[in-house]
Amino acid sequence: MCSLWLPKAGNQPHEYEDAFWPARASNREVRVKRFAVADGATEASFSGLWAQMLARACGRGKIRPENFFAALTPLQDAWWAEVGRIPLPWYAEEKLRSGAFSSLLGLSLKQRRQDGQVAWTAMAVGDTCLFIVRDHELITSFPIHAAEAFDNSPHLISSVPARNLALDSALCRESGLARAGDRFYLATDALACWILARHEEGAEPWNVLDDLARDDCQERFAGWMADERRGHRIRNDDVTLLRFSLE
Amino acid sequence: MAYTAEISRTNPSCFLFLIDQSGSMDDPSGSAESQRKKADGVADAINRLLQNLVIKCAKSEGVRDYYYAGVIGYGSNVGPAFAGALAGKELASISEIAENPARVEERTKKVDDGAGGILDQTVKFPIWFDAVARGGTPMCEALRRAETILSSWVSEHADCFPPIVINITDGESTDGDPSSAAEALRRTASSDGETLLFNVHLSSHGAAPIEFPESETGLPDKYAELLFRMSSLLPAYMQTAARQEGYSVSDGSRGFVFNADMVSVIRFLDIGTRPSNLR
């Protein structure tokens, strides 16, 4: 697995508000492999912390589609406990009332006992996307299928329960069977939109991403991203990519 | 395409509020449920706009200077109208504004309790601007002053998202027809487009609120019609944001409201992902 990430141009690394799980590749044999990517909303405060909490909990199997809403409660309590530790100025206190917001994409892969095939299950709220490429063909684009579907106001998971009343309809699920050689890409919205736009033009964005992932080099990724941003081919935003292929 | 520049700390934008402080603002507002003076309504409106702008730019580590803002009052004279430590400043960074309200009051507001009920919640209400009602309504001079301030701003921030001016008035200019001064102000442009001039008309007329109309038809008086004509068209990105919030707007909609506030415009500003469930 390769993870590449970058803050929005003009921001410092500590201002990066995406989050991903696992932090690094592991060779440990486990029955279920889990991956998660979350994208904290710029317009809320402490969204980076909220995104980290969501990605970690999802990556550890604590948030699953079947327990999704119940699993948020302890995380929301933990978020409020963390942000309430220190006194805040009036504006930060007022902003806190709105809560933090984040997307979440969770992916789990499990080998089936009956036939040895690998089954994958994904869940998502918001615009962080999963792409699965088999040979040279995009076989899954989840939960967004077209570049034009991205906008600046997705429905996200809030740390305030009252803002999650319509979350049920925003929770998307998808599942399928994977084959050896399938390539998986988990990307936050700016990169996901770039991927779909290039794909819609008939290009194979996977080749570019595979090339960058092969090096696993943040500096090279940063250089490439700076070019794309300068050319206005990708929106200036925090960017995260998790990429792996099935052995 | 105009109005697409990124607003960031390295490329900030500018907000300028023009506040009618004339003697006629001592009259009661047109709101049916209230006999409050228009001047008090204006003070609340400007303090709420500044508060919302500060909160919009607040992050975990503090306030990011995406904007500079100023308040110009016009009544017995025309000039900067911040109270407290910012008194005399034409423009201040939004973090400076956040740190320097003249005072912070507490008010009660009704909020959804998340379980179908309504709760009273005590909230902090910072005050940068106090109600004043004295003298005439030199709107032309105020618009010219704004043009001077913003000409200097755009010469130093040539590629910024264009400045936004919100003029809050009861509509009756006493130093002539403000149309040409308004046009000159709108022409003050960065490489990303002309200055956006929006008008808030607070009237003693008891007519129903009107928000972002697309024509003069149905406006209650000649002052409302004049302010409508002086107002900029809502740029495409604001139309999209307004529609997402349930406003009925078109390409002809202008940044004009009658007996209503304009806090929604702060929500329309694009500084990054704004969740649809954050309202």
Instruction: Identify the H or E element spanning B201.
Output: strand B196-201
Domain assignment of residue B123, yes or no: no
d(Cα B163, Cα A162) in Å, to the nearest integer?
A: 35
Closest CB to B55 among A48, A94, A237: A94
Q: Does A45 touch chain B (CB under 8 A)?
A: yes
Q: Could you tell me the CATH number of the domain that includes residue A194?
A: 3.60.40.10
Residue of B nearest to A40 (CA): B273
Residue of B nearest to A98 (CA): B278
d(Cα A174, Cα A164) in Å, to the nearest integer?
A: 21
CB-CB under 8 Å, A93 with B277: no
pLDDT digits (tens), chain A, 247 positions: 899 999 999 999 999 999 999 987 777 777 889 999 999 998 889 999 999 999 999 999 999 988 998 999 999 999 999 999 888 888 998 888 889 999 999 999 999 888 889 999 999 999 999 999 999 899 999 999 999 999 888 999 999 998 998 888 999 999 999 999 999 999 999 999 999 999 999 999 999 999 998 876 889 999 999 999 999 999 999 999 999 999 8
DSSP string, B187-199: H-EETTEEPEEEE
d(Cα A233, Cα A43) in Å, to the nearest integer?
A: 23
Q: Which domain holds residue A127?
A: 2-245
What is the DSSP code (8-state) at residue B155? H
CB-CB under 8 Å, A93 with B276: no
Q: Is A8 helix (H, G, I), strand (E, B) or coil?
A: coil
Q: Which residues of B touch A10 (CB under 8 A)?
A: 8-10
CB-CB under 8 Å, B8 with A152: no
**Distance (Å) from the alpha carbon of A11 to chain B's nearest alpha carbon:** 9
Size of interface A-B (CB pairs under 8 A): 100
CB-CB under 8 Å, A90 with B114: no
Domain assignment of residue B278, yes or no: no
**Distance (Å) from the alpha carbon of B187 to chain A's nearest alpha carbon:** 27
d(Cα A196, Cα A145) in Å, to the nearest integer?
A: 8
Question: Domain tally for chain B?
Answer: 1
Domain assignment of residue B8, yes or no: no
Question: Domain tally for chain A?
Answer: 1
The per-residue pLDDT for range B53-100, each reduced to its tens digit, is 999 999 888 999 999 999 999 999 999 999 999 999 999 999 999 999
Neighbours of B166 (CB within 10 A): 23
Q: Sign of torsion, CA B139 B140 B141 B146?
A: positive
d(Cα A145, Cα A169) in Å, to the nearest integer?
A: 17
Domain assignment of residue B112, yes or no: no
Domain assignment of residue B141, yes or no: yes
d(Cα B15, Cα B71) in Å, to the nearest integer?
A: 9
**Distance (Å) from the alpha carbon of A176 to chain B's nearest alpha carbon:** 29
Domain assignment of residue B120, yes or no: no
Rounded (10°) angle between helices A205-215 and A189-200: 140
Closest CB to B8 among A10, A46, A95: A10
Domain assignment of residue B118, yes or no: no
Q: Which domain holds residue B205?
A: 13-101+128-268
Q: Does A43 touch chain B (CB under 8 A)?
A: yes
**Distance (Å) from the alpha carbon of B113 to chain A's nearest alpha carbon:** 7
Domain assignment of residue B184, yes or no: yes
